[in-house]
Chains A and B, each alone.
Chain A
Amino acid sequence: MRIVVLIKQVPDTTDVKIDPVTNTLKREGVVSIINPFDMYAIEEALRVKEKMGEGEVVVITMGPPQAEVALREAISMGCDRAILLSDRKFAGSDTWATSYTLSRAIEKLGDCSIVFCGKQASDGDTAQVGPGISTHLNIPQVTYVKKIEKIDKNSAVVERMTEEGYDVVETPIPALFTVVKEINEPRLPSLKGKMKAKKAEIVVWKAEDLGCEPDKIGLDGSPTRVVKIFTPPPRGGGRVLSGEPEDVAKELAELLKKDIVG
């Protein structure tokens, strides 16, 4: 059984700072990490492989050459091999073009039973790429998976998180799952894994290798276009209430009364 995990390298948001002079995002020296939700996808892929007792886990990312670091981290956790989709022609891809490019890679790889993604990336927050890939591949999907109840070579029963609770969904395999944090606790890399990651060969695929249609990748393949970027106005200055707890609580209740009553 071949399991694919799709990951994205994102800036570690704890480090994101706004430059007070230019009022823009400071990305210098910002540490890159694997998108937090993708860590759960990696872990779940490894668990399914272990449960099935056979197969391989292939981790794929699309990004600049530096994204190799994220792939090595995934290998150190236990993924068997890694593929980097990197080409200047991919620059400017929106979620449509990104999901197309990733689906081409999965098709080239061939014979994939399950595709795991995080529910969304922490930088873009769109949650559109996973469903986009399942559509390009024409396979069923279950999003927001919080538990895999049952899985074999032909089907799986999973729990899909909803606003009110969860749905229990049965799906044939191949299928694509996007996962939420609740699904597992990602493992730490083992020493052996780290050694393996150091030596691992990262395969790089370019647009040509994937047989991508030129008008479906990068900026040309992206139906959306960013036309303006600006810094949101800061929240107005707050007010500090001070005094004895009894008085402060009373004051706050009065202040909020109209907002709460409607």
Chain B
Amino acid sequence: MSENDAIQVILEKCVGCTLCVKACPFGAITMKDKKAVIDLAKCNLCGSCADKCKFTAIVIKKTQLKKIFDFSAYKDVWVFAEQKKGVIQSISFELLGKGRELADKLGVDLAAVLLGENMEDTAKELISRGADKVYLVDSPKLKAYQDDPYTNILTELISKYKPEIVLCGASTIGRSLISRVAVKLNAGLTADCTGLDIDPEEKILLQTRPAFGGNIMATIISPNSRPQMSTVRHKVMKEAEPDLKRKGEIIKIKLDDDLYISRTKLIDVIEDIEETVNLAEADIIVSGGRGLGTKENFAIIRELAMALNGAVGASRSAVDANWIPYSHQVGQTGKTVCPKVYIACGISGQIQHLIGMKSSDIIVAINKDPDAPIFSVATYGIVGDLFKIVPLLTKHFKNIL
């Protein structure tokens, strides 16, 4: 460490108590000659150590002079309303549910931003789901998502109307769009938040998200920039219920032609998911793994999924064996899902798979190996032969549903 580093141990104050070693979530602190030594390669300056130190021996310095920021011009909570083929995606209703709660805590309006073609009726739907205002930019050029025009227009609207918080779905579109907008606005952006709340004193947004595959949780703020921006994954927040009596304002906006220009050109949109349900949005997922043994055996997984009106998922080994396309893969190199019920059949539960599904509300594991790691996260575990149990489950569900 040198005195120019952002984190310092003041050796005279350090008594070697090791509280900081225990506090560090990254294992970045060791003791050398009874003094704390911080490995900067591992440290991410989270400040846990400085908080725990009773001797103020750890100092994190911000070289920049603390500016006095005036954010009084920034008001309202915004939700980016994602539409595909003119249909609002369920993630947007989930964000409106959370956005309403945040706006009420702050005593401000909740607004939705909607870009598309012929979307006026759809805009009303957003009001019924809790928006006080809808900023609507309607143009044939915005019919389908494209990075450039959507980025330009959303950036322009935020600069003009100055919301204090902007929420966006952590979908393919959302992640591509909002990262660009945040860079243009020099704003802080936190990905995949599982918790959003308002600090009662500071009135700032507290964003909680998992890190390291969910092994730790981090709460993040954006103290010195506005708006405060977050993305949220599907199914994490509760959808706002429609109330057709709600009143709100639709603000139609026309902007400079330049902003609608796209450097890329969308040539075609292809839908190729074997089953009709989109994994990210599914309430129920039935997944198969190596235990299925063959491609043909996936049929029993599909039958159960169909009986439950759910989607079909798969472990990496099933995908690698070419039993099912990659678009069904759940886990670290596939999709992260958060359904109400996740049924894992013949999946041992490698950490990479668990990362992708362990925040599901209910997890059912069916596996013949009682020591399979999947059982460690299972709400209900069945040790047994999936070829017997899965078809029986299909039968019983057909009876009761």
Q: Residues on A close to B: CB < 8 A?
A: 11, 13-14, 16, 18-19, 21-22, 24-28, 36-37, 63-66, 88-89, 91-92, 94-96, 99-100, 122-132, 134-136, 140-144, 157, 160-172, 175, 180-182, 214-215, 218-220, 222-232, 235-236, 238-242, 245-246, 248-250, 252-257, 259-262
B332's closest neighbor in chain A, by CB?
A122
Tell me if A163 and B172 are in contact (CB < 8 A). yes
Tell me if A219 and B333 are in contact (CB < 8 A). no
Q: Could you tell me the distance between the alpha carbons of A203 and B351 in the complex, rounded to whole angstroms?
A: 35
Closest 3 pairs between A and B when the two form their complex, measured CB to CB: A223-B188, A64-B41, A249-B392
Tell me if A140 and B350 are in contact (CB < 8 A). no
Given known pairs A168-B267, A229-B217, the reply for A126 and B42 (CB within 8 Å) is no
Tell me if B176 and A226 are in contact (CB < 8 A). no
Q: Could you tell me the distance between the alpha carbons of A239 and B336 in the complex, rounded to whole angstroms?
A: 24
A215's closest neighbor in chain B, by CB?
B64
CB distance from A20 to the nearest CB of B (A): 12
Tell me if B221 and A224 are in contact (CB < 8 A). yes
Q: Residues on B close to A: CB < 8 A?
A: 2, 4-7, 21-22, 24-28, 40-48, 60, 62-64, 84, 144, 147-148, 151, 171-173, 175-177, 179-180, 182-184, 186-192, 206, 210-225, 263-273, 278-281, 283-284, 308, 326-327, 329, 332-334, 336, 340-341, 350-352, 355, 358, 361-365, 375-385, 388-389, 392-393, 395-397, 399-401
Partner of B183, one of A99, A144, A220, A230: A99
Tell me if B218 and A228 are in contact (CB < 8 A). yes
CB distance from B179 to the nearest CB of A (A): 4
Given known pairs A242-B383, A245-B384, the reply for A126 and B191 (CB within 8 Å) is yes
Contacts of A226 in B (CB 8 A): 44-47, 218-220
Contacts of A96 in B (CB 8 A): 182-183, 186, 188-189
Given known pairs A25-B212, A229-B216, A249-B396, the reply for A132 and B355 (CB within 8 Å) is no
Q: List 17 A-B contacts (CB under 8 A).
A: A16-B215, A24-B22, A37-B333, A92-B6, A92-B45, A122-B213, A123-B213, A134-B180, A164-B272, A165-B327, A167-B270, A171-B264, A227-B46, A229-B217, A229-B218, A238-B365, A260-B308
Contacts of B45 in A (CB 8 A): 91-92, 219, 226
Tell me if B27 and A28 are in contact (CB < 8 A). yes
Tell me if A92 and B44 are in contact (CB < 8 A). yes
Q: Could you tell me the distance between the alpha carbons of A255 and B382 in the complex, rounded to whole angstroms?
A: 13
Tell me if A256 and B25 are in contact (CB < 8 A). no
Q: Could you tell me the distance between the alpha carbons of A24 and B46 in the complex, rounded to whole angstroms?
A: 14
Contacts of B355 in A (CB 8 A): 13
- Dominant SS among interface residues on chain A: mixed
Tell me if A223 and B172 are in contact (CB < 8 A). no
Tell me if A142 and B388 are in contact (CB < 8 A). no
Contacts of A240 in B (CB 8 A): 375, 380-383
Tell me if B172 and A161 are in contact (CB < 8 A). yes
Tell me if A225 and B192 are in contact (CB < 8 A). no
- Dominant SS among interface residues on chain B: mixed
Partner of A246, one of B41, B270, B392: B392
Tell me if B176 and A182 are in contact (CB < 8 A). no
Tell me if B211 and A124 are in contact (CB < 8 A). yes
CB distance from B388 to the nearest CB of A (A): 4
Given known pairs A14-B350, A141-B176, A170-B267, the reply for A238 and B380 (CB within 8 Å) is yes
CB distance from A89 to the nearest CB of B (A): 8
Given known pairs A66-B41, A181-B334, the reply for A25 and B389 (CB within 8 Å) is no
Tell me if B4 and A13 are in contact (CB < 8 A). no
Tell me if A143 and B64 are in contact (CB < 8 A). no
Contacts of B380 in A (CB 8 A): 238-241, 252, 255-256
Tell me if B213 and A91 are in contact (CB < 8 A). no
Q: Could you tell me the distance between the alpha carbons of A142 and B22 in the complex, rounded to whole angstroms?
A: 43
Tell me if B216 and A91 are in contact (CB < 8 A). no
Q: Could you tell me the distance between the alpha carbons of A89 and B2 in the complex, rounded to whole angstroms?
A: 11
Q: Could you tell me the distance between the alpha carbons of A149 and B87 in the complex, rounded to whole angstroms?
A: 29
Contacts of B363 in A (CB 8 A): 235, 238
Q: Could you tell me the distance between the alpha carbons of A175 and B265 in the complex, rounded to whole angstroms?
A: 13
Tell me if B62 and A220 are in contact (CB < 8 A). yes
Given known pairs A136-B183, A141-B147, the reply for A256 and B341 (CB within 8 Å) is yes
Tell me if A125 and B396 are in contact (CB < 8 A). no
Contacts of A136 in B (CB 8 A): 183
Partner of B213, one of A13, A28, A132, A140: A13
Tell me if B270 and A166 are in contact (CB < 8 A). yes
Contacts of B326 in A (CB 8 A): 180-182
Tell me if A241 and B378 are in contact (CB < 8 A). no
CB distance from A69 to the nearest CB of B (A): 12
CB distance from B187 to the nearest CB of A (A): 6
Partner of A227, one of B47, B265, B267, B397: B47
A253's closest neighbor in chain B, by CB?
B396
CB distance from B197 to the nearest CB of A (A): 12
Contacts of B182 in A (CB 8 A): 96, 128, 132
- Given A13-B212, A218-B6, A220-B62, 4 more contacts at CB 8 Å? A172-B264, A223-B187, A232-B210, A259-B361
Contacts of A253 in B (CB 8 A): 393, 396-397, 399-400
Tell me if A95 and B220 are in contact (CB < 8 A). no
CB distance from B131 to the nearest CB of A (A): 23
CB distance from A88 to the nearest CB of B (A): 5
Tell me if A230 and B213 are in contact (CB < 8 A). no
CB distance from B34 to the nearest CB of A (A): 19
Q: Could you tell me the distance between the alpha carbons of A115 and B224 in the complex, rounded to whole angstroms?
A: 31
Tell me if B382 and A241 are in contact (CB < 8 A). yes
